[in-house]
Amino acid sequence: MKPSAAAVLVLLTLASPALAAAPAYVGKALSDASRPKADTDADAIRDPADTLAFAGVKPGMTVVELFPGGGYFTRPLSDIVGPKGKVMAVENAGWKGAAAADQKMMDSLPVKNVALQVKPFGQMDLPPGGADLFWITQNYHDLKIPEYGQVDMAAFNKAVFAALKPGGTYFILDHQANPGITMAEIAKLHRVEKATVIAEVTAAGFKLAGEGKFLNRPGDDHTKVIFDKAIQGKTDQYALKFVKPRG
């Protein structure tokens, strides 16, 4: 017999202190029985409960998600914002199979509140001042990799600023790098230094509102490529929350 959603939520809550501390709508989204097994298997290393709670996702929000990559976070984002909210997903046209995976995920969602843009790398078409939250998980560093495309980071962060409502949140989670990492090393290791992200985003007019340390892992010395089997899925990561000033 298939367990009920309520039973699944109880089991997940008992197994995960992070989920127990998250808002009820986060727990409900993560306990959705329609989530693929690959996603639920990844929860132990990705900590989606703390991630969603820290970012401040709420019902009714309009969220922009950069590079959903098949929808690991798109599914719970869609579930949380609900029928009165919206997720605007922006995918890189150059990543083979990414848009198709996104579309497959969207077709399976119980609430059809996700719109997909497939754009050249680093580009997006967003209405000014329409979003409550701009979301990037593990992809800010990709914007710095020349192989994918040349992105003017100052212009990109200004575009995010313009897309958000006053008081809106810019959420970035990425793999930590050692101080002084070069552009060539960013491309090789797929990491970016937290201090660099803070400097670039605050230069666009944002204020740093908080840091989540729930994925900090001191066992990672930041010298290995994130795909190295010794640390894959277990890298040292930081979560940063920036706010667009209201005045």
pLDDT tens sequence across 38-50: 999 999 999 999 9
Of 30, 167, 151, the residue nearest 90 (C-alpha): 151
Coil, strand or helix at 76: helix
- Structural domain of 69: 36-243
Q: So what's the pLDDT on residue 18?
A: 67
Indicate which CATH number applies to the domain containing 138: 3.40.50.150
Of 148, 149, 174, 171, the residue nearest 226 (C-alpha): 174
Q: Token pair for residue 15?
A: 């197994």
> Which amino acid makes up residue 231?
I
Tell whether 166 is covered by a domain.
Answer: yes
Tell whether 235 is covered by a domain.
Answer: yes
Task: Point out which residues pair with 208 in neighbouring strands.
Answer: 242
Q: So what's the pLDDT on residue 247?
A: 78
Sites in the chain below the pLDDT cut of 50: 1-15
Q: So what's the pLDDT on residue 150?
A: 86
Number of domains into which the chain is organized: 1
Q: So what's the pLDDT on residue 177?
A: 98
